[in-house]
Structure 1
């Protein structure tokens, strides 16, 4: 599972706060160091791609509509 630098920063932020809501604003602030800060749609696209990569590891990212994301372990 290879992550892009932007995806790695998103995952790092979510892992530092497992189960807790990480706001979209916090994620964008974390990514502001990147050459181009992602738009709302680009952030959503990154999260969609990350979800595909994390599913085999037993992890998922759940969206909280309009607020942010949470990292969860997939329950069987």
Structure 2
């Protein structure tokens, strides 16, 4: 995830997004609750927190909230 994408996600707290995951057709849709910074080794890592999240694949499945490793995100659609 680029700094630009992370900054845009931080600006969209409380808004709905659709997140595509790398290497799969899986997508998650939900309201952005926040982005948490975690420091592992020397490089910071970020996790995206979604509320009222749904998985979009062949069908839509609600699963409440989701925590997604930002390194696994390939694209974000701001809805």
How high is the TM-score relative to the length of structure 2? 0.29
Give the structure with higher Rg (CA): 2
How high is the TM-score relative to the length of structure 1? 0.30
The structure with the largest helix share of the pair is 1
The structure with the largest strand share of the pair is 2
